[in-house]
């Protein structure tokens, strides 16, 4: 997957995370999304999100996070980690990159939706300090989603 040439890699543990350049081909991100979700976003949908005002993404060969900023708030739109790369801290590293970017851009809160039936994601988000602030009934094709909130800035140990 291409790297944004104007940015230095972010380093957290062994993960080589970089900011994704929205002018690059989004097909690799779409392929990762398809490997992770039944209702995956195609390359065009990801591209449309990335070119919107306030949008940004971080990526590695095995995962990416896509987020946006607006009015002092940030939102994680999706987090995708390839099945073979799960459980190795990549999701946390990608989220930390997105959180740092949101803080740098002046956000004071970060939101996301997650399937209420996704215990691994819920554990990841709880470990980062996200708390439940709502529920969306039937949000994911009949499955409930929890709305989670993280006040910013966050100090990680």
Catalytic residue among 7, 12, 125, 140: 125
Of the pLDDT bands very low, low, confident and very high (cuts 50, 70, 90), residue 154 is confident
Catalytic residue among 7, 73, 113, 140: 113
Arithmetic mean of pLDDT, 102-111: 96
More confident residue, 52 or 8: 52
113 catalytic? Reply is: yes
User: Is residue 13 over pLDDT 60?
Assistant: no
- Per-residue pLDDT, 140: 83
User: Is residue 156 over pLDDT 80?
Assistant: no
pTM of the model: 0.88
Of the pLDDT bands very low, low, confident and very high (cuts 50, 70, 90), residue 4 is very low
Arithmetic mean of pLDDT, 2-12: 41
More confident residue, 134 or 15: 134
Return the HEC string of the chain. Answer: CCCCCCCCCEEECCEEEEECCCCCCCHHHHHHHHHHCCCCCCHHHHHHHHCCCCEEEEEECCEEEEEEEECCEEEEEEEEECHHHCCCCHHHHHHHHHHHHHHHCCCCEEEEEEECCCHHHHHHHHHHCCEEEEEEEEEECCEEEEEEEEECCCCCC
């Amino acid at each position: 997957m291409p790297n944004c040439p104007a940015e230095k890699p972010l380093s957290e543990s062994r993960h080589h995370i970089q900011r994704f350049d929205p002018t690059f081909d989004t097909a690799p991100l779409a392929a990762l999304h398809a490997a992770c979700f039944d209702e995956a976003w195609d390359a065009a949908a990801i591209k449309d999100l990335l070119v919107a005002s306030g949008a940004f993404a971080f990526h590695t060969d095995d995962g990416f996070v896509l987020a946006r900023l607006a009015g002092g708030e940030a939102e994680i739109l999706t987090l995708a980690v390839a099945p073979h790369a799960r459980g190795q801290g990549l999701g946390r590293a990608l989220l930390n990159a997105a959180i740092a970017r949101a803080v740098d851009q002046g956000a004071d809160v970060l939101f996301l939706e997650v399937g209420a039936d996704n215990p691994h994601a819920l554990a990841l988000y709880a470990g980062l300090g996200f708390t439940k602030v709502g529920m969306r009934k039937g949000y994911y094709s009949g499955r409930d989603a929890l709305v989670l909130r993280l006040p910013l800035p966050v100090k990680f140990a």
